[in-house]
Amino acid sequence: MTEVMLSACAVLLYSCLNDAGLTTYYHPGINLKKIHYYSIKLFEQLEAETGQAVGFHQPGSIRLASTPVRVDELKYQMTRTHWHPTPQFLIGPEKIQQLFPLLNMDKVLAGLYNPGDGHIDPYSLTMALAAGARMYGAQIYQPAPVTGLAPTADGRWDVQTPHGTIRANRIVNATG
């Protein structure tokens, strides 16, 4: 056994309570921008790879600028995507109004349009990730709360659960 996931409750029990499922290329920080890019690329292929529907839609998004400083910020952010070319456009009020006719355009100077932004169903995404993990050999045990951890002489770990003990080389604690 190589990869094991232990969950104190059903994997999907809390998968969508607080998650809107928004997927955006935009982020001002370069590290999170890379994670966003990787995630969207994964979401685009996940259904085909796992056979599990994920409810992924990419209608696009617009970030609005109502001050010249904010317009400059959007222009600057556009220069920071050279390592992953994704479609994005600085658009004027006319195009913004065309894309979103219900928007009050008072004070809107420009917008950063990202046509690849979208949303995904968090429940279906969790199911697909679990299916993919199983496809690649992972075993998921639930409910299986970890009741104890004990280091072994050879540098590994004994992980105690109500179902027995599992010997692990590494432990990733993702309890949130």
Total length of the chain: 176
Q: Which residue has the higher pLDDT, 10 or 155?
A: 155
Q: Average pLDDT for residues 19-34, to the nearest whole number? A: 84
Radius of gyration over alpha carbons of the chain, in Å?
Answer: 22
Q: How confident is the model at residue 12 (pLDDT cuts 50, 70, 90)?
A: low
Same-domain check for residues 111 and 131: no
Same-domain check for residues 110 and 94: yes
Residues 6+ apart with CB under 8 A from 60: 99, 113, 114, 115, 116, 117, 118
Same-domain check for residues 69 and 97: yes
pLDDT tens readout for residues 40-53: 999 999 999 999 99
CA distance linking residue 32 with residue 25, whole number of Å: 9
Same-domain check for residues 35 and 122: yes
Same-domain check for residues 110 and 66: yes
Same-domain check for residues 78 and 109: yes
For residue 26, pLDDT beyond 60: yes
For residue 85, pLDDT beyond 90: no
Q: Which residue has the higher pLDDT, 69 or 12?
A: 69
Extended beta strands in 40-163, E state: 61-65, 89-91, 110-114, 118-119, 139-141, 148-151, 157-161
- Which residues partner with 150 through β-bridges? 158
Q: How confident is the model at residue 176 (pLDDT cuts 50, 70, 90)?
A: low
Same-domain check for residues 33 and 51: yes
- How many other C-beta atoms lie within 10 A of the C-beta of residue 146? 16
CA distance linking residue 109 with residue 93, whole number of Å: 6
Residue 172 placed within a domain: no
What is the pLDDT, as a whole number, of residue 2?
Answer: 66
What is the pLDDT, as a whole number, of residue 16?
Answer: 55
**How many structural domains does the chain have?**
2
Q: How confident is the model at residue 69 (pLDDT cuts 50, 70, 90)?
A: very high
Residue 74 placed within a domain: yes
Which of 25, 37, 9, 18 has its CA nearest to residue 122? 18
The lowest-confidence range among 19-23, 63-67, 119-123, 124-128 is 19-23
- Which residues partner with 161 through β-bridges? 164
pLDDT tens readout for residues 115-141: 999 999 988 998 899 899 999 998 888
* Domain containing residue 48: 11-57+118-136
Q: How confident is the model at residue 81 (pLDDT cuts 50, 70, 90)?
A: confident
Residue 152 placed within a domain: no
Q: Average pLDDT for residues 39-68, to the nearest whole number? A: 96
- Average pLDDT in the chain: 89
